[in-house]
């Protein structure tokens, strides 16, 4: 029996990339994990995204049973209303930490999906519910302050702001500037701050300082071009009171005349209340440094509010913080299960997939070496995290590494205009949905029928008309073509009950399920052409994608498959499985190694050929 189980979950850790970097000697800890234990590619469930497959990993259950996807439409709600699939109450299946809890064994959980609010007694918890989007607890999202105009798309304003600077020569002596300082006022987290650009060393502007409000007695933090500031930790107004929160900034660009600049500011996140029990928060901040749950994501880069090297630096720091915090807790408590989800690679691959994939229309072969170096450095954060946790597991424990899905090149986005063209979705002149005439409404991986008696605005009668509308949806979907190649856009269009063999179905699943076809585009495009082709939203202009592609999808060097590796007592050594496991086998396998029953709702058994006996 393994005394301890550590499961390190990495969002979108891709087996094709891992295997290449291991072979090149760039991931020594993961290489050791494969040599001393077992390794397999792993098939996720559809939809191949975060909310769905981390739930499967923790429960051993299919999506039909656990009911979790990234966003969930609940029965009885209007069809255009979705709720987050990440809070613990959204998961309808028993989770692995509940198994350990019933055995009286302690679990330490770091920001795992569907783990918060706390739903077990024997738990130490850090972070939130694993949601990949903006945190509800954060006081402000990451933002880039710039001198130029912002782009027109909405995410430029979500993650960026234009900073108007005014010369203030009367402040020169006070802020120690050899030239008239340039001052710009901003609101962050409900408080007012002032950025001051000054010349400290000579005849050019070289330093950015941050002050509270309009007081210029003492800067809260400072940084030069290419530098990070120190952390700012202070009180912010929140819910009629005050909360202590932290942030820092980096001066990505600053011209000698001070007029051209980009200042990236991190998420502003409370430094209390992010752990259970609460006392761990103060300890972690004191000994590990300030905590940011979600440092940055792809939208910040798309909004030109940071560059990819700054993105790497921030997530590398977050990886080190995560490892150090885990070391602190795990070295002091008698734990049995450690489980985390770390999201960095998913965000990165949405931004950077074109850097390494030769079929992507934005790929530049002359920059491929830099792309692979960047991926190696980024995956190296994961390698170091595994190394540091492994040191805490000990010889009588199991260390395991798992991902939830992979990535392929994002080459087109079919959208849902075809539903309007088929007369199934009707909009008014102002663009809003006319529910009195609408028979079908899309979600990201399927289509709901506007059914009378089930949906608040339902007009389609149950029975014969319902089935006829589903036939119309399927027929219309299969006629959608990719505009450049003329190939069918969808690989799958089917009734939900016909896909129960895939683990789909139930009242949270759309009436018709759709899955996209991976279609290679064999020509180069400019950035502007690419954005027009895939659509202008933040999600569509990602160069890597997943979610709406079947688990078996492979395209060029990309794959939607995930991976699973484990080493320790009860496991074979140096075993590489020739066929993929199912992600639903992870929890049953780990429970077997811990001599515990599988989660109550698990639908798959352990990976028996991983087991030594």
Helices (H), 240-367: 279-288, 298-302, 308-330, 344-352
Percent of the chain at pLDDT exceeding 90: 91
Q: Are 587 and 57 a contacting pair, CB within 8 Å?
A: yes
DSSP for 58-98 reads HHS--HHHH---SEEPPTTS-TT--EES-SGGG--S--HHH
The torsion angles phi and psi of 488, rounded to 5 degrees, stand at -55, 135
Closest CA to 271 of 297, 240, 324, 234: 234
Note the pLDDT of residue 526.
Answer: 85
Tokens of 72: 């969930």
Tokens of 371: 């792309």
pLDDT tens-digit readout, 76-94: 999 999 999 999 999 999 9
pLDDT tens-digit readout, 485-521: 889 999 999 999 999 999 999 999 999 999 999 988 7
Closest CA to 518 of 400, 407, 610: 407
Burial 212-223 (b: 16+ CB within 10 A, else e): beeebeebbbbb
**Is the whole-model pTM more than 0.85?**
yes
Tokens of 367: 């920059």
Tokens of 161: 């702001």
> Residues with Cβ < 8 Å from 124, sequence gap 6 or more?
106, 107, 108, 109, 275, 276, 277, 280, 329, 333, 335
Whether the per-residue pLDDT at 567 is higher than 90: the answer is: yes
pLDDT tens-digit readout, 448-484: 999 999 999 999 999 999 999 999 999 999 999 988 7
Note the pLDDT of residue 403.
Answer: 98
* Confidence band, pLDDT 50/70/90 cuts, at residue 134: confident
Sign of CA dihedral 294, 297, 300, 306: positive
> Residues with Cβ < 8 Å from 57, sequence gap 6 or more?
7, 9, 402, 404, 583, 584, 586, 587
pLDDT tens-digit readout, 272-304: 999 999 999 999 999 999 999 999 999 999 999
In angstroms, the CA 61 to CA 66 distance is 6
pLDDT tens-digit readout, 387-410: 999 999 999 999 999 999 999 999
Tell the residue number behind the tokens 């650009």, with chain if given.
Answer: 197
Give the H or E element holding residue 10.
strand 4-10
Give the three-state DSSP class for 428: coil
pLDDT tens-digit readout, 319-366: 999 999 999 999 999 999 999 999 999 999 999 999 999 999 999 999
DSSP for 470-523 reads HHHHHHHHHT-B-TTT--BSEEEEEEGGGGGGGT--STTS-SEEEEE------S
Average pLDDT, the chain: 96
In angstroms, the CA 140 to CA 67 distance is 31
> Residues with Cβ < 8 Å from 208, sequence gap 6 or more?
195, 196, 197, 222, 223, 224, 229, 249, 251, 254, 261, 263
Strands 191-198 and 269-270: unpaired
Q: What is the CA radius of gyration of the chain?
A: 25
């Amino acid at each position: 029996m393994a005394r301890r189980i550590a499961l390190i979950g990495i969002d979108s850790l891709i087996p094709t990339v891992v295997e290449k970097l291991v072979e090149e000697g760039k991931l020594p800890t993961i290489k050791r994990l494969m040599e001393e234990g077992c390794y397999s590619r792993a098939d996720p469930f559809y939809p191949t995204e975060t909310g769905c497959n981390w739930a499967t990993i923790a429960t051993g259950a299919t999506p039909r049973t656990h009911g979790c996807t990234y966003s969930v439409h609940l029965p009885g709600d209007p069809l255009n209303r979705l709720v987050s699939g990440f809070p613990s109450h959204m998961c309808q299946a028993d989770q692995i930490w509940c198994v350990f809890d019933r055995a009286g064994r302690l679990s330490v959980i770091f920001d795992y999906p569907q783990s918060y609010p706390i739903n077990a007694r024997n738990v130490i918890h850090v972070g939130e519910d694993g949601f990949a989007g903006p945190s509800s607890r954060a006081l402000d999202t990451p933002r880039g302050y710039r001198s130029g105009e912002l782009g027109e798309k909405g995410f430029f304003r979500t993650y960026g702001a234009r900073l108007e600077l005014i010369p203030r020569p009367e402040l020169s002596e006070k802020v120690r500037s050899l030239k008239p300082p340039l001052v710009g006022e901003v609101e962050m987290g409900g408080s007012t701050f002032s950025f001051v650009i000054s010349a400290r060393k000579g005849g050019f502007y070289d330093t950015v300082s941050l002050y509270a409000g309009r007081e210029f007695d003492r800067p809260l933090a400072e940084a030069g071009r290419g530098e990070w500031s120190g952390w700012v930790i202070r009180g912010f107004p929140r819910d009629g009171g005050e909360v202590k929160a932290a942030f820092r900034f980096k001066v990505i660009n600053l011209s000698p005349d001070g007029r051209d600049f980009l200042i990236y500011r991190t998420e502003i996140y409370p430094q209390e209340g992010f752990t259970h029990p609460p006392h761990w928060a103060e300890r972690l901040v004191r000994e590990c440094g300030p905590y940011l749950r979600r440092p940055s994501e792809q939208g910040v880069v798309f909004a030109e509010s940071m560059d990819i090297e700054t993105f790497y630096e921030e997530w590398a720091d977050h990886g080190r913080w995560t490892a150090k915090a885990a070391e602190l807790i795990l070295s002091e408590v008698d734990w049995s299960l450690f489980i985390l989800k770390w999201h960095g690679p998913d965000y990165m691959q949405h931004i950077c997939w074109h850097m390494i994939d030769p079929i992507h229309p934005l790929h530049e072969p002359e920059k491929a070496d830099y792309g692979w170096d960047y991926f190696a450095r980024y995956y190296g954060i994961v390698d170091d995290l595994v190394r540091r946790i492994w040191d805490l597991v000990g010889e009588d424990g199991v260390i395991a590494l798992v991902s939830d899905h992979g990535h392929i090149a994002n080459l087109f986005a079919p959208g849902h205009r075809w539903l309007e063209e088929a007369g199934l979705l009707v909009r008014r002149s102002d663009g809003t949905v006319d529910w009195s005439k609408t028979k079908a409404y899309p979600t990201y991986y399927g289509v709901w029928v506007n059914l009378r008696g089930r949906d608040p605005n339902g007009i389609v009668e149950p029975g014969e008309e319902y089935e006829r509308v589903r036939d119309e949806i399927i027929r219309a979907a299969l006629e959608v073509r990719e505009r450049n190649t003329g190939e069918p856009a969808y690989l799958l269009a089917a009734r939900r009950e016909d896909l129960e063999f895939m683990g789909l179905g139930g009242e949270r699943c759309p009436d018709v399920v759709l899955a996209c076809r991976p279609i290679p585009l064999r020509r180069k495009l400019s950035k502007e052409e690419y954005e027009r082709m895939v659509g202008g939203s933040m999600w569509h202009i990602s160069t890597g994608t997943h979610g709406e592609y079947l688990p078996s999808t492979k395209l060029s060097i990309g794959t939607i498959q995930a991976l699973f590796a484990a080493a320790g007592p009860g496991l074979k050594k140096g075993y590489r499985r020739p066929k993929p496991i199912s992600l639903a086998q992870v929890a049953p396998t780990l429970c077997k190694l811990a001599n515990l029953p599988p989660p109550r709702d698990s639908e798959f058994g352990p990976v028996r050929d991983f087991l030594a006996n």
